[in-house]
Amino acid sequence: MEQSKKPKKTSLLRRFRHNKPALFAGIVLIIILTMILFAPIFTNFGPAKSDLANRLTGPTTEASMAVGVTQPHFLGTDQLGRDIYTRLLYGGRVSLNVGFTVATIGGVIGVVLGMLAGYFGGWTDMIIMRMVDVWASSPTLLIALTFVMILGPGQKNLIFALLINSWTLFCRMARSQVLIIRSSAMVESGHAIGASTNRILYKHIMPNIISPMVTTYILELAHFINAEANLSFLGFGVQPPDTSWGLMIGEGRKYLTQAPWIVIFPGLMIATTVLCLNLIGNWIRDEFDPLAVKL
């Protein structure tokens, strides 16, 4: 078994290595994730720690005068003297947490519903897909905004609000994939040997639709990191003194002319993360879709 699997794996890794943008994106993402997850190792400041003597200072390599801290404000400070670099790391936790949670839960719900709709067809399909149509016909952000207004701001409510719409794309994708496989000889063969519907759905159909789902997942992850930033920017996400990349931009907006670094760096982080996720998502799509045109 190992003998037959090995060449496949190495060649996949090699193909990954040869796709320069995807490789670059992967490395950058790993660095960002590691720094965010192990934030306390990478900075000596606390995220809410004010260094009032150094408010609105630009990026510098000179160590700050704050008591007991020997680390310079690499990326400058904000209007309260908080270290931008530190806040980027801690704020990233919120951004990625929201993104991952929404995409994961939405993905699971959407894929399961989409598979049921595609496999059973008829009324099941009709009810599920009309629900998708209704939800997907209204803009994600507007719905999320409405729900956050009703529920009140905060990270949990933000996740909930985004979840309302996040499953629809997964549902559509899973359904269309299952529709293709449902009529295949593979499924018929499963019925012929007496395999249960569950077995056919989860042991045969699901593994065969997983790669387009992974692509969708990664692209949706980027989408929801963006959505969180947008909502936080408007003040409906996490509340100060906690922060996220979107909120940092929102708070720094007023100081854009005097201290542009407050806005520039979180903006760069969002752009970089989303770009990297998109590059990897595109690579996976091309790699696993035999019909995709290779450039």
Partner 1 sequence: MIDERAKKTLLSVRGLKKYFPIGGGLVTKAKSFVHAVDGVTLDVMAGETLGLVGESGCGKTTIGRLVLKLLPKTEGEIFFQGEDIYQYSKEQEKNFRTKAQLIFQDSFSSFDSRDTIGKIIGEPLLVHGIASGSELQDRVSQLLLDVGLKPDLYNEYPHTLAAGQKQCIGIARSIALNPDFIVCDEPISALDVSVRAMVLNLLKDLQSSKNLTYMFISHDIRVVRWLSSHIAVMYVGKLCEYAETEEMFAHRLHPYTEALLSAVPIEDPRKRNIKREILLGEVPSPVDPPPGCRFAARCKLANERCFKEDPVLEERKPGHWVACWENFHGESEIS
- Contact positions vs partner 1 (CB under 8 A): 1, 3-4, 122-123, 126, 184-186, 188-189, 191-196, 199, 203-204, 207-208
Give the count of beta carbons closer than 10 Å to the beta carbon of residue 98: 26
Length of the chain: 295
Amino acid (one-letter) located at 34: T
> Which residues are CB-contacts of 239 (< 8 A; sequence separation ≥ 6)?
153, 154
Copy the structure tokens of residue 291.
Answer: 């019909």
Q: How far is the CB of 196 from partner 1 (least distance, A)?
A: 8
Structure-block tokens of residue 111 = 């894929």
CB-nearer residue toward partner 1: 192 or 295: 192
With respect to partner 1, which residue has the nearer C-beta, 161 or 200?
200
Instruction: Give min distance, CB of 9 to partner 1, in A.
Output: 14
Give the nearer residue to partner 1 in terms of CB position, either 150 or 185: 185
Identity of the residue, 15 or 188, whose beta carbon is nearer to partner 1 in the bound complex: 188
Residue 58 sits at φ, ψ, to 5 deg, of -75, 175
Q: How far is the CB of 120 from partner 1 (least distance, A)?
A: 13
Residue 211 neighbours by CB distance under 10 Å: 15
Q: 24 or 202: whose CB is closer to partner 1? A: 202
Query: ∠ CA 286-287-290 to the nearest 5 degrees?
Result: 75
Tokens representing 227? Answer: 């959505």
CB of 220 to partner 1, least distance (A): 24
The pair phi, psi for residue 252, each rounded to 5°, is -85, -10
CB of 198 to partner 1, least distance (A): 11
Write down the least CB distance from residue 293 to partner 1, Å: 22
In the complex with partner 1, the residue whose CB is nearer, 185 or 291, is 185
Dihedral over Cα of 282, 286, 287, 289: its sign: positive
Nearest to 227 by CA among 56, 100, 109: 100
Angle at 277 between CA 273 and CA 280, to 5 degrees: 140
Distance of alpha carbon 265 from alpha carbon 270, whole angstroms: 9
* Minimum CB–partner distance for residue 182 and partner 1 (Å): 13
Is 82 in a helix, a strand, or coil?
Answer: strand
- 149 vs 186 by CB, closer to partner 1: 186
